[in-house]
Structure 1
Amino acid sequence: MKRMVFLALSLLLFLTGCNWNPNHEYHAQREDIDGTNLMESGTRKNSFYEEDLQDEDYNTNQNPNFIDLTEDRPDIGDDQDKFREVIELKSEFKPGAVFINGANAYVTVHTDKSYSNKDRKKEEKKLYETLQKAMPRYHIRVTIHDND
């Protein structure tokens, strides 16, 4: 019997001790929706998101591992234009289709001249070396087509 009374009292003491509050109120942490009060500093009136994102000097391109989000960011079309620009520097060639698939670039070049297979391979090699200097990050495959 003494054990049962002792067990009941210790259980009652344990349960009331966990929920004891002298004011009978719950004091939650001061925080707005989404925790914006926690982001405020001592003297600033606005939080980081309201003030700093509106600032002209805010730059999202600080980490090179993140995607560039500016409007003038380079893309595959710029690389294709660069291939075409290099081909146009050679007066006898006209750029054709340029396809980029991952690290591979497939460049088609048109010419008005007629080449033998040996001469065509030689011209493709010269053009390949020129394009490789301009865009070294790609594995380039050059094909010359006659307009005959």
Structure 2
Amino acid sequence: MTNVAVRMRLLQQSFDAFDDAAATLLGLNRTDLRCLDLILANDPMSAGDLTRAAKLSPAATTTAIDRLERAGFVTRSRDTANRRRVLVTSTPAARAAEKEVYAPLGEAGTSALHRYSEEQLAVIIDFLDTARQIQEDQTARLKQLPTRK
């Protein structure tokens, strides 16, 4: 079990390092990168939905959208069905950045997964789902604890 735990920590560190490198390449901070990823996955996305998905305050979301807009990765527009709602849409530059940064990662991952059988992939998927649920449960637990100053 210790070997699995060590490898999970190393995997998490590799995700963090990749996100740092991607943010640096794109001239973004990690929060803005996370927001851009959410927008690309839910394009277009309302500012309110982005606030909830990114778990940011409305002011922090507005600041992130401002920075992403200045970087040329998103545009803002009013929702024609609800004028009070702001929609955030990715730009061609954002899609090009997504392709440059994440497409090679996806291709390498897909290629690596071909070495596993369907049964092995089912175990991997179960493990990943279980690990994600544990992480979410433990995040919720931490949020219930009093903050330290």
Q: Tell me if both proteins adopt one fold, taking TM over 0.5 as the criterion.
A: no
TM range (shorter): under 0.3
Structure number having the greater helix percentage: 2
| Largest Rg, 1 or 2 | 1
Structure number having the greater strand percentage: 1
